[in-house]
Amino acid sequence: MSRTFYITTPIYYPNAEPHIGHCYTTIAADAIARYHRLAGDDTFFLTGTDEHGIKMVKTAEAAGMSPAELADRVVSVFQQVWKELDITHDDFIRTTSDRHKQAVGRIVQRLLANGDIYLGSYQGWYDEGQEEFVTETEARTNEFKSPINGRPLVRYSEPTYFFRLSKYVPRILEHLEKNPDFVQPASRRNEVLSKLRAGVEDLSISRATLKWGIQMPNDPQHVLYVWIDALSNYVTALGLGSDDQARFDKYWPVNVHLIGKEILWFHSVYWPAMLLSLGVALPQRIFAHGWWTAEGRKMSKTAGNFIDMQKIRDLCALHGVDALRYYLLRAAPFGADLDWTDADFAKSFAELANVLGNCLNRTLKMVGRYRGGQLPAAGELQDIDRTLLARMDALAGHLAGAYERLELQQCALLPLELARAANGYIDSTAPFSLAKDPAQASRLDTVLNLSAQAIYRTMVGLLPILPHKAAEGLRQLGVDPSGQALQHLMTASLAPGHRLGEGQPLFPRQV
């Protein structure tokens, strides 16, 4: 029976074009979704855009257009980029779509009916970049500037509806304490716990001064403040609050909300509080990954170290999308902060070429030269063969564990380490010398067979990370992976007599 697997990315603000940060989260989610699909899980992968709020209004104004025009324009850029990067999302939710707006209206009705929303007045410091009020203490600590982007906080005072966040804090605390995997990584979970223990105020959820948003169903003078609107996307996309909730019933609770670390608080506190009020099950896991800097500094256009789409497109045109995916996912343990350097990118590409490409190429060449492209059966095994076989057999289990724990760096490195081991095996067994001695024919058969099995397993293991290159590698090995389950591919071996294809460099060096 197939399990379901639901994974989401944040919905991105379309007030500026995507950059490496958005690509990182989305590629990470894509690799995880691809793994689960291959593993036979009924998988649903959601991404989208968060289109309301002050920031959109301001950016649109400065560009001389309406927020809706700005949203349409930038959303189509996001969609185009996901196509270029071969992202396999199953749905793309826009917060300006009717399905979302209607469902949010019904969700807010339910919060109102529960008595969890009341009218009050708010006076406070507002971080326009983050679209949130910050407490007096936080404002003072950060010298009345946004801790995220350094811009001055703005003083706001207005009537606003509040959500009774504080009412749910004890239950959220208890949930966090009892479920160590609910918020990951652990260091970030601890930050959330201490902030929660320090006390939390009710949440201002509406603006009377803003038109660009979803109207409060009970009071058309107010539009919803973005976080309630935005967070709801994870369930409105599944049909909660609509007439067809089949998807919701099937996929909720979500397996993984993948987000960047700066929005962990909203996801691990506001969102569970809303769900508790709605009587809906809590997410299984919220995983906050780290932030990219570039060449050792915060990315900035003026500093010239901004990794924008132009740069990403150029790299993909030269080295292929898979080289980008590999670099991003192997750069640091998933969850840690990361630093882009051109030198590291080049190193990671060289690793693909020298370890993976080389292992495939030399194996195909040897089988071609010594056995006419037909895989010989293995003969009697020696210790060195058994060691390599044991590594091959262990890969599927290790990968499953790494994907389960979201150790994406390991998901990229584990198969590569098998190819490295296969290269070492070829070096040690020296098939080119064996080929010179007819008495060693059976030994050569064994070495050729095992080398081919190892690179085959490596390619299968890399399918979620390098969807193109791994599939191409498999084709060169005479295997068509399409439509096949990982379980089958991982446990299958290339049969004796199997015809291998032509070797072509998988990662041609660019000059």
Cα–Cα dist 311/332, whole Å: 21
In the bound state with ligand MSP, the residue whose beta carbon lies nearer, of 163 and 456, is: 163
DSSP 153: P
Among 115, 118, 116, 134, CA closest to 126: 134
In the bound state with ligand MSP, the residue whose beta carbon lies nearer, of 22 and 188, is: 22
In the bound state with ligand MSP, the residue whose beta carbon lies nearer, of 90 and 417, is: 90
In the bound state with ligand MSP, the residue whose beta carbon lies nearer, of 165 and 230, is: 230
DSSP 266: I
Cα–Cα dist 179/167, whole Å: 20
The identity of residue 470, as a single letter, is: A
Determine the Cα angle at 498 with ends 492 and 500, to 5°: 105
Nearest approach in angstroms of CB 410 to ligand MSP is: 19
Nearest approach in angstroms of CB 320 to ligand MSP is: 22
Nearest approach in angstroms of CB 490 to ligand MSP is: 30
The residues near 192 (Cβ < 8 Å, ≥ 6 apart) are: 176, 183, 264, 265, 268, 269
Token digits of residue 318: 């030269």
Nearest approach in angstroms of CB 228 to ligand MSP is: 10
Number of Cβ atoms within 10 Å of the Cβ of 87: 22
Number of Cβ atoms within 10 Å of the Cβ of 101: 19
In the bound state with ligand MSP, the residue whose beta carbon lies nearer, of 273 and 356, is: 273
Q: How far is CA 304 from the centre of its chain?
A: 26
Nearest approach in angstroms of CB 24 to ligand MSP is: 5
Cα–Cα dist 70/51, whole Å: 9
Nearest approach in angstroms of CB 53 to ligand MSP is: 8
Q: What is the DSSP string of 238-292?
A: TTTTSS--HHHHHHPSPSEEEEEGGGHHIIIIIHHHHHHHHT-PPPS-EEEE--E
Nearest approach in angstroms of CB 507 to ligand MSP is: 26
In the bound state with ligand MSP, the residue whose beta carbon lies nearer, of 50 and 202, is: 50
Among 29, 38, 79, CA closest to 328: 29
Q: Site residues (CB under 6 A) for ligand MSP?
A: 10-13, 21-22, 24-25, 50, 230-231, 233, 259-260, 263, 291-292
In the bound state with ligand MSP, the residue whose beta carbon lies nearer, of 188 and 498, is: 188
In the bound state with ligand MSP, the residue whose beta carbon lies nearer, of 147 and 260, is: 260
In the bound state with ligand MSP, the residue whose beta carbon lies nearer, of 12 and 326, is: 12
Q: Contact 16/50 with Cβ under 8 angstroms?
A: no
Question: Residue 162: beta bridge partners?
Answer: 118, 204
Q: Contact 359/427 with Cβ under 8 angstroms?
A: no
The CB-nearest residue to ligand MSP is 21
Nearest approach in angstroms of CB 111 to ligand MSP is: 17
Q: What number of H helices and E strands is found in the chain?
A: 22, 15
Q: Contact 352/508 with Cβ under 8 angstroms?
A: no
Nearest approach in angstroms of CB 478 to ligand MSP is: 39
Nearest approach in angstroms of CB 110 to ligand MSP is: 19
- CA distances, 408 to each of 17, 36, 254, 426, 440 (Å): 26, 13, 19, 28, 42
In the bound state with ligand MSP, the residue whose beta carbon lies nearer, of 92 and 485, is: 92
In the bound state with ligand MSP, the residue whose beta carbon lies nearer, of 4 and 300, is: 300
Q: Contact 161/206 with Cβ under 8 angstroms?
A: yes
Nearest approach in angstroms of CB 231 to ligand MSP is: 5
Token digits of residue 399: 């990968």
Cα–Cα dist 249/238, whole Å: 8
